[in-house]
Chains A and B, each alone.
Chain A
Amino acid sequence: MRFQVAIRNLAKAALVLFLVTFSISILVRFLPGDPIEILMPFATEEGRAALRAELGLDVNVVQYYFRWLSDLLRGDFGVWYASTGDGGGVPVRSMLAIALPRSLLIMLYTMVVSLVFAVPLGIFLAYRAETRTDRTISNVLFTISSIPNFAIGLGLAFVVGVQLDLLPVIGYVPFAESPSEHFKSLVMPLVSLSVGLVATFSRLLRVDTIATLREDFVTMASSKGLSNSWILWRHVLRPSSSTLMTSAALQMGALIGGAVVIESIFALNGFGMLLASAIATRQYLAIQSLVALIAIAYIVFNLIVDVLYAIVDPRVRGGRG
């Protein structure tokens, strides 16, 4: 039974992936500006036709898509084409090898740092609910979560980077090269991205924890005569949970976008900047491959969440009988 569900989920995921990449590839073809003309506006028609054939742009959209897809499944992400044709461009894979790890690391660090600070903070505030400490800190967090992360980034770059001269303002140093420089170059981007998340997550966690504590009271009260199914309905009908989850989802969406902006401000040259550059220069192959990667990441993320929820929840339910 579980196996069947898993297969079905995988099939759904594959379908979503297909739809996303296909619609992007069609959408992108509508962009004004023929890449061949951009590359060689003065060549003869034969020259352009030759380049078009070499780059595989002479087939229609559907064929192009499936050719790209078969390459992708073999691990070939395509080529960032240059005017010298197929052999002259840079393989997208090597560009990704530089850009992707740093973006992923930034996201990873951001999530870890945010959770490390948010979880204890949220629980602490819940235990101290309604006291002066709670109210003050909650208000501060509320304010902080409303400031755009790029504003924080710009401010930090100026104050910490220039005036106090503590950290580098631009550039990314890989871990393998120098661990200390690596972390130093990421502190300000991390702080910019994490601050808002810490504020939001701790507030969400606080409310959840309070509600849970409250529920325990109710569970005790239930032993005095309220039926279990009633409690179960209450548990199912918790719109606040979905509100919170949706709020978190909104924040995650803003985070992924915000990461691109932060990358741009701190000149980190990561995945987001690569994608923006691909769109600007009509690099169809690169766009399709990069968007496919994002879609895969998103789908994997969701699958894992569903799996985790299934793992975590029965225990919870089991515990309460």
Chain B
Amino acid sequence: MCFTPSSTRVSGAGVASVKRAPVGLYLASGWLLVCLFSAVFGDFFPLPKWDEFDYDNLGLPLFSEGHLLGTDYDGSDVLSGLVHGARTSLGISFTAVFIGSVIGGLLGIVSAYRRGWVDSVVTMYFNVSLAIPTIVLTLVMVALFATPDIGDPSAGWPRELVLIISLTLVIIPILGRLARGSALSWSGRDFVLVAESIGMKKRSILWTHIIPNVLPAMMSVAFLAAGVVIVIEGGLAILGVGANPGASWGSMLAKNRGELAIAPHTTLVPAGIIALTVMALNYFGDYFRLRIDDRESRI
């Protein structure tokens, strides 16, 4: 089977880079493209609305008429739910990871290169953030920001936004620490020392030498993190603070888990979709990591 990227090379020097991408890469990118397509263009698909309750068709099994993947016990169509859920789940996950990576990466790289008190403060911030459990942070943030005032209902922020913010806060220190560690290693490299000694400005060193070398590692972890965030959102949904019921894959799972014995497809199908997406993301993460290994082994 060729899903898992091949992960060994016989000694480092002189091995040619991978010439042909493994089949797994095509499958993973294909799946992610399908998800992204659903997320963006889902509204145009000829499916019933995801939050519409079809009261006469509760709990239809798979492959029923009019409902390709059946309905759950509220009468919501499972397939529409998945299509809409792609937007919510991927939206939350990708946004949180992207913004978290950018902010965390910047903080980490700058603090690694600058050292001194900047480094101490940033590291302290990372440690403190990592020590606050995700669950606590999200529960508190949802209660704080997604609970609007009774007099002005629209003042509350949408749940998805609050989730993005709290998950971004979770990602920042993780990617930040990685970026910092990586930047630290690279800062000590010969060619960087050489560049400094010839008087190259710190900023250009950062841009031309350090960042391009730190980025691949960050990208690999970012993909992994995206997968983990999707799963975390599902867990939060089970605790009641995820996206609104049925709006994301995780909250579909949480909403229908009571009927696992009766209509298992309403739980298993979203779970399967989550697993496939996480697999595809992990695949990319692994793939990038091995490309880095390759590069490293050839330097």
Contacts and interface: CB of A to CB of B under 8 A. Distances in A.
A254 B128 CA distance: 17
Interface of B: 1-4, 6-13, 124, 127-128, 130-136, 139-140, 143-144, 147, 149, 170, 174, 177-178, 181-182, 185-186, 188-189, 216-217, 220-221, 224-225, 227-228, 231-232, 234-236, 238-239, 250, 253, 257, 260-261, 264, 267-268, 271, 274-276, 278-279, 282-283, 285, 289, 292-293, 296-297, 299
B132 A295 contact: yes
A163 B297 CA distance: 52
A128 to B, nearest CB: 11
A275 B135 contact: yes
Contacts of B124: 12, 15-16, 19
Given A130-B6, A206-B7, A243-B217, 9 more contacts: A16-B124, A16-B127, A20-B128, A24-B136, A150-B238, A151-B268, A221-B11, A279-B139, A302-B127
Contacts, number: 207
Nearest to A31: B143
A13 B219 CA distance: 30
Interface residues of A, number: 76
Contacts of A317: none
A265 B238 contact: yes
26 contacts: A16-B128, A19-B124, A19-B128, A135-B1, A146-B278, A147-B274, A148-B234, A148-B250, A148-B278, A154-B257, A154-B260, A158-B264, A238-B296, A239-B185, A242-B178, A242-B182, A250-B224, A251-B228, A253-B170, A254-B228, A256-B135, A257-B135, A257-B235, A291-B136, A294-B133, A298-B130
A243 B175 CA distance: 10
A34 to B, nearest CB: 13
Contact of A148 (B12, B181, B235): B235
Contacts of A302: 127
Contacts of A138: 4
Nearest to B231: A148
Contacts of B236: 257
A189 to B, nearest CB: 14
B4 A20 contact: no
A198 B42 CA distance: 36
Contact of B132 (A20, A130, A149): A20
Nearest to A15: B124
Contact of B135 (A20, A207, A210, A276): A276
Nearest to B249: A148
Contacts of B221: 243, 246-247, 250
Given A242-B217, A260-B135, A261-B238, A130 B128 contact: no
Nearest to B283: A142
Nearest to A244: B289
B213 to A, nearest CB: 8
Contacts of B2: 135
Contacts of A298: 130-131
Nearest to A282: B143
Given A32-B147, A150-B234, A276-B139, A210 B189 contact: no
Main secondary structure of the interface of A (DSSP, over half): helix
B4 A139 contact: yes
A254 B275 CA distance: 15
A258 B228 CA distance: 11
Interface in A244-296: 246-247, 249-251, 253-254, 256-258, 260-261, 264-265, 272, 275-276, 279-280, 287, 291, 294-295
A150 B7 contact: no
Interface stretch (A46-54, A229-237, A308-316): A229-237
B98 to A, nearest CB: 16
B211 to A, nearest CB: 13
B146 to A, nearest CB: 11
Contacts of B264: 158
B292 A243 contact: yes
B132 A150 contact: no
B177 A250 contact: no
A243 B178 contact: yes
Nearest to B295: A239
A115 interface: no
